[in-house]
Structure 1
C-alpha cells in the first residue's frame, strides 16, 4: 500500500468527513456563503460600465468576491483573496512582497493591472504596479472586490490592459457599533484591528479604524536568518452624509507608516557580481478623498470625486516620494429610451522625487506630469435581449502624448439563465519612469579587453512609447440549475510595441530600452459554482494561458526586473469549499495549483499544489473565533523567483483570529 503523507491526507479526510455530515440537517441555501448561487449572479457590479448592473448581464469576464467569501476565506491579506479568481496568478515572494497579475505578464511590478480602492487608483506611476504591502485594509471593512479580467482602459484609463481590480469598502452606515479583532500567526506575527462607527445628529454616518501589524516572515531560500518581517500601523476615517434626498457626500482618509525588514541585492563598482545585504524598507502614506453624488431624476445623475495621495519609501536601493492629485467628473443619463449614455472628464497631476543608488537610479531625480482624460460610452438596447456598448477613453500625458482606448461589447440574454457576450478592445500601457528614465547596474562583470571590472548597464529610453494591445474576448454565463452555475471566457490578445531592453549596438555590456517586441497570447477561463448539498458549496476556477513573443525573449535582457515577459503559468486551478457543520460552525478549505511558469528562475519553484483549511466557530452573537492552516502540503516552499528580489521560503502557517462585534 503506497504511503500517503499525513500533511496531504489530513485535509482530504477532514473534507470527506465534513461532506458526509453535510447531509444531516437541511439548511436554507442562503446560509452557505451568504447568498444563493442565483442571488450571486444578481449582485450589482459597477466596474464594467461605471454604472450598477447585475453580474449575470455584464459583457465582460467578471469575478466578484463578496464580504461573506472574504470572511470565510481564511486570508489575512488582499493578494491571498485573489487566488480564487480565474486567471489570477498570485505568488508571495517574501514576508512583505507579492507578485499579482491577471492573464500573464506577472512580476513584482506587474504593470498591466489597474487596482483601485473606492475609485482611488493605487497604481504606482513611478515603477508601475502596486505596493501590495501598503494595501493593508481591514478585511472586515470590504464590501466586495470586483475583478474585471481583460482590458478596462475604456473607462479606467491606461495600464488596465490585463484587467481592473476594484476594492469597494462598506459605507459607514453598514459598520456601526464597535469591532475588535486579534490575529496571532505562527511563525510569529500579530495584528490588532479596532473600529468604531456612529451617527451624527444631522444624519451623517461615520467610522474610524486603526490597525497594527507586527510580524516575522519566512526564512530565505539559502538559509539566512529570518528577515522578511512587517511592521505596519495605520489609522483611517470615513463619513457618509445624505445631505438631502438627491445629494450624498462621502469623505474618507487614511494615514499609515511602517517598516519591512528584508534582503536586497546590491552592487558596487569595485566588487564582482552582486551581493545580498540586509535592508529595512521604511514607508509612509496618506490620502484624503471627497466624493459627491447628485441625483438629477429623469436627467440622470452625476458625481464628482477628488483625492490627494502621498507615498514615500526609503531603502538601501534608493528613496522616493510620489504626490498625486486627482479630479474626476462623470455624468450618466438616458437621452433616449434605448440609449444609456455616460461621459466624464478628469485631471491628474503626479510629482515625484527620487534619491537613487549605484544599483538603480532614475534620472532626472525630480519629475512632474499632467494627465488629462475624457471618456464617452453609450449602451444601446438593440432588442429586449440584445445590448451593444460602444465607448472610448481619450488621454493626454506629458510622456507619450495622445492615447485612445476604444471598445465595443455585445451582450445577448436569450433567457434569464443565459448571457452570451463578446468584446473587442484597444488598450495601452504607458511607460513608467523606472523603464524610460532608469540607469541601473544589476551586475558587475569582468571585462577582458581592457582587463577590468565593468558594470552591466541598463539604460531606459526617453523616447519610450506605450505598449498597445488589441483584445478579442467572448464568453457565456449560465445558470444550469438552482445548484449549478457556469461561467466561460476566452480571449486572444495581439501585443504591439512591448517595451523591453536589448543589447546596445556599440557596447556589449549596455542594454537600452526599446519598444521592439511584438507578440500575442490566448487563453480560456472557467468558473463554476456547485451547491452540493444545502450545507456545502464548491467553487471551481480553471485558467489556461499561452504567450508567444515574435522576437525570442532570449535576445532581450535576461534580468527579470526589466523584462517585458516575466512569469506566466500555463495552468491555474483553484477549488474552494464552504461547509456549514452546524449553524454556528464552519469548515472551509481551498486547493490551489500553479503550473510551473516560464520566466527567470522558474525551475527553482517548489511544490505547485497548496492547501488551506479554516475552522470557524461563532459561540455567541457578535463573536467569531477561527483557526486557519495555510500551506498544509509542505513545510516551506518557494512561490516565485526573480532576479529582482531575494525570494523567501513560504512556510506552513497557522493563525488564529478572534473577531468581536459589539
Structure 2
C-alpha cells in the first residue's frame, strides 16, 4: 500500500476515536487544566534578565512527569530521575542531544564519531551492533524507539535543541508503566509549549568540520486556536586520519584497493514540523502534531556505514485534567544502510577477526527497509478519598517491518507484531511523611506472549530538607526484528598480501572469510530486576545533594555471537568466477555453486567421459576441454598446480548467532549528585557514578560449544565517571563549562583457546589486550545577550581529541577519530 494512503487511513481512525472520547469527556471537566509539563520555566526570549532564579529549595521540589506519567514533586518520585533544563542547554551551548546527555549521572554516552552517540543507563549491552537498545526514548510521551534495530537515531527525531523544554531521565526499571524496552531507563524529551510561542524564533550557527545548525520557528494563534511551524537543517563532516603512521608502500597498496582518508559527510538532516492546538474550554484541549525529517548519518554497528532514511510522525491527542487519549503513527521510509569501504586501521594487539580487513556485506553492500508503528493509548487519573490516588491506562500497538536484512531470501517480506497492555499505579499516603507507591503493567505480545512487571516504592519525607526512597521493580525488553529474523552474510577480506594483516591465518579460505549473522525466532524476552535506594537532602541554603544506589539482576541477555569460525561452508561461492579469473569459462559445464562432494562427482564423471571418448573418438576436441577441467579441479599434485579444491578451499564461515546468555548478569553501583549556588549568578553542579558488573558479564565465553571452539573475552567496564558543570551570568554575559571523565575500559581475549590465529605471525602483547584510555571531555560556551539577539561561541572536546572512543571490541576498529569542534552562532526572537 502507498505510504500516504497508510498514513491517511490511520489518521482517520485516530480522528474517529478521539471524537468519541471528546463527546464523553468535554462536558464533564470542571477544574482548570494546567499543562505544566510544557510551561516555560527558565528562559524567555533568550534574555538573561528574564531568567527565573530558582533557589536551592525550588530545585529540590521541582515538578517531574515521567516517573509516574503525571506531574509530581521530584521528592515524591518512585524512581531515580534527573532533569536537564533548557537553561542547561543554553548555558552549556549544547547543539545536539548527545552532548546534553553527557550531564546525566549513571549514563554511559559513547561516540563512534563527532556526530554519533550511543547511550546506556547503569550498564551496557555487550553486543556491538547497538548500545542504545536498552533505553526507551520518548518525545512528549510518544515512543520513538525503533523496534527494527533498537534505540533511536537522534537526527531522525525532527527536533532541534531550541525546541526542547527539558529532558527527564528515569534510571532503572520502567516497564511497570511503559512496558517493554523501558529496560535500563527512560529518556523523555519534552518540547516547548507552542501556546506560549508568539512570532519568529531563528537560530543559525556554524563552525569547523562543515558544522551547520539552523532552525526557524513561527508561532501564533488567536483566542482558542494556537499553532507553530518549524524548519531546520543540520550538517557536520567527519575528518579521518586512517593513514597516520603508515609507510608509503602500505598507503599505496591501500589506495590500490580503494581505501582512502580525508573528510566525509557524517550528518545531514532536513527537518519540518507542525503543531496545532484547539482549546475546547479552559479545561480541555485537542492537539495535532506532525514532523518530517530526511537524514543521512554515519553509524558504527557491527559494520560501520552510512544510513539514510525518511521519518514521518503524526500524533493526535485529547486531554483534560484527568484524561489523556493519544494516537500516533511513526513511519520510517527509504531506509538504506551502505556499509563502509574505508580502511579500518587497528592496533596489532587487537585479537578479533572481525577487525582484520576490509569489510563489506556479501554479496551486496546495501541494506534497505521500512518500519511503521501505529499506537493508541488512554490513561486516566482518579482518587478514592483524600489519601489514595490512582493512574490507570491501556494501549494497543501494531508494528510493520519490511527489509532485505530480515529475510534469508533477501526479498522484501513484511513482518508484523502487535501487543496490547494495561497498567495501574496506586499512591497511598500512609501518613504525612510516608507514601507508598505500588502498581504494575500487563503486556501481551503476539510473538512473546504475556509479561507482568510490578513496581513498589516506599517514600519517607523526614522533613522539608531530607527524604528517603526504597524501591523494587522489574522490566522487560523484547527481541528486536533484527534479533529474530536477521540472516546476512558478511565477507571479510584478508589483507595479508598488503602486509597489513599479521594476525589472520586464512590458509584454508584463500583470501576471505564469510561471517553469517543468523537471527533466532526462539529468543526469550530479556528481564531486569532492580533494587534501589535513594536519599535527598538540603545542606543549608546553598547546597542540594542526592544519593542513589542500585543492584540489578539481568536474565536472558541477548547477545550477538563473536567471530569464531566453527565449520567449513558446504558450498563454494561463485565457481564460475573462480574459473573466469583463470581465463576459463565453465558456464556450460559446472553449476555456479557446488558442494565438495558434487565437485568430486564431477571429476569422476569428467574422467569417465575422457576415457570413453579416448576409446571411441580419440580426435574429439572435447577431450582436451574435459582434461583442462579435471586439471583445474583436481590439480597435478605439484605445488605449482594444486587444483581448485586446494587453491580455493571452501571458505571458513563464522556463525554469529543471536542468542540468550544462560548466566545471570549482576550490575551494582550508585550515583552521587550535588548542586551548589554560592552566589545568585553562579550555579555549580557535579556528580559521580560507580558501576560494577559481575564476573558472568566480565568473563564471557563465545563460540560453538559442540565443537569446543571458544573465545574467552574478559571485559572491565568504566567503573568511575565524574561530571562537573558551572553556569555563570553577569548582566548580559553568560558562560557555561561542562567537564566529563570516564575511567578506562579494557577487553582481553585468551587467543590460545580457539586455534584460529597463527601466533607465529605476531607476538601478542599482554595476551591480546584491547584498551580504551580514560575519556575526558571539556566543553566551554560563552554568550552575550543584546536586546532580542543571543550571540554565542562554543568549544567542544577541547582537551582530548584525535582519538577513538567507542569501547566495543568490533566497533572500536571502525569508529572515527573525535575532533576539536568550534561553533559560533546567533539566536533572535521577533
Aligned residue in 2 for 1:473: 532
Q: Deviations over 1:539-593 (max 9, x none)?
A: 00110001114276441269xxxx999884211111000112x211012111110
Q: Is the 8 A contact 2:120 2:131 kept in 1?
A: no
1:349 aligns with 2:398: yes
1:116 and 2:138 are equivalent in the alignment: yes
Cα deviation code 1:56-113 (max 9, x no counterpart)? 2223211111111111121101111111110111122124422111112156442111
Which residue number in structure 1 is paired with residue 13 of structure 2?
Answer: none
Q: 1:136 to 1:70 in 2, by over 3 A?
A: farther
Deviations 1:371-417 (A, max 9, x none): 11110111111111101111111111122111111110110001111
Q: How does 1:631-650 map to 2 (within 5 A)?
A: 631-642=797-808, 643-644=810-811, 646-650=814-818
Q: Deviations over 1:592-644 (max 9, x none)?
A: 10112345999453552111111110022x21001111111134232214424
Cα distance in 2 for partners of 1:163, 1:262 equals: 23
Structure 1 CA distance for aligned equivalents of residues 716 and 98 of structure 2: 17
1:616 match: secondary structure: strand
Distance 2:821 2:728 in 1: 22
More strand by share: 1
1:51 deviates by: 1.1
User: Which of structures 1 and 2 has the bigger CA Rg?
Assistant: 2
Shift of 1:365: 3.6
Residue in 2 that maps onto 1:22? none
Aligned to 2:719: 570
Larger helix proportion of the pair: 2
Report the Cα offset of residue 262 of structure 1: 7.2
- 1:220–1:43 CA distance, 2 compared to 1 (3 A): farther
Q: Is the 8 A contact 1:544 1:570 kept in 2?
A: yes
Cα–Cα, structure 1 residues 451 and 143, in superposed 2: closer, same or farther, change >3 Å? closer
Partner Cα separation in structure 1 for residue 680 and residue 83 of structure 2: 22
Gaps of 5+ in 1: 1-28, 267-275, 296-300
1:257 deviation in Å? Answer: 0.6
Q: Is residue 2:318 matched to residue 1:305?
A: no
Any unmatched runs of 5+ in structure 2? 1-47, 245-260, 339-365, 495-504, 568-652, 705-711, 749-767
Partner Cα separation in structure 2 for residue 77 and residue 655 of structure 1? 12
Compute the RMSD of aligned alpha carbons: 2.9
The 3 A distance-change label for structure 1 pair 130 and 602 is farther
Is the 1:361–1:440 contact (alpha carbons within 8 Å) kept by the matching residues of 2?
A: no
| CA distance 1:352–1:599, shift in 2 (3 Å) | farther
Q: Helix, strand or coil for the counterpart of 1:550? A: helix
The reply on whether 1:324 has 2:490 as its aligned counterpart is no
Alignment partners' CA distance in 2, 1:512 and 1:623: 56
Select 1:57's aligned residue among 70, 76, 79: 76
**Pairing 1:229-268 to 2, within 5 Å after superposition:** 229-260=266-297
State the TM-score, normalized to the length of structure 2: 0.69
Match of 1:522 among 654, 665, 668: 668
1:366 equivalent in structure 2: 414
Match of 2:458 among 410, 431, 445: 410
Q: 1:150 to 1:31 in 2, by over 3 A?
A: farther
Deviation at 1:204, TM superposition (A): 1.5
Q: Which residue of 1 aligns with 2:541?
A: 482
8 Å Cα contact 1:611-1:632 kept in structure 2: yes
1:479 CA drift (Å) = 1.4
Q: CA distance change for structure 1 residues 506 and 632 in 2, over 3 Å: closer, same or farther?
A: closer
Equivalence map 1:432-443=2 (5 Å): 432-442=480-490
- Residue aligning to 1:624: 790
Q: Distance in 1 between matches of 2:175 and 2:551?
A: 17
1:281-331 alpha-carbon deviations (Å, 9 max, x no partner) = 321111000111123xxxxx1110000111132122401111110101001
Q: Which string of whole-angstrom CA distances, capped at 9 and with x for unpartnered residues, describes residues 222-272 of structure 1?
A: 552112422211110112222112321121110111223679987xxxxxx
Aligned CA distance change for structure 1 residues 115 and 172 (closer, same or farther; 3 Å): same
| Residues 552 and 138 (structure 1), Cα distance of their counterparts in 2 relative to 1, 3 Å cut | closer
Do structure 1's residue 597 and structure 2's residue 656 form an aligned pair?
A: no
Asked if the contact 1:501/1:556 (under 8 Å) is kept, the reply is no
Aligned counterpart, 2:775: 608
CA–CA distance in structure 2, aligned partners of residues 505 and 633 of structure 1? 41
The aligned residue for residue 93 of structure 2 is 74
SS class of match (2:430): strand
Aligned to 1:283: 309
8 Å contact 2:214–2:233 — kept in the other structure? yes
- Aligned residues of 2:330 and 2:372 also touching (Cα < 8 A): yes
CA shift, 1:447, in A, is: 6.4
1:538 matched to 2:689: no
In structure 2, the partner of 1:272 is none
Q: Offset at 1:472?
A: 0.3
Secondary structure at the aligned position of 2:239 is classed as: coil
Does the 8 A contact of 1:228 with 1:263 survive in 2? Answer: no
1:33 deviation in Å?
7.7
Q: 1:451 to 1:586 in 2, by over 3 A?
A: closer
How far apart are the structure 2 equivalents of 1:151 and 1:596? 27
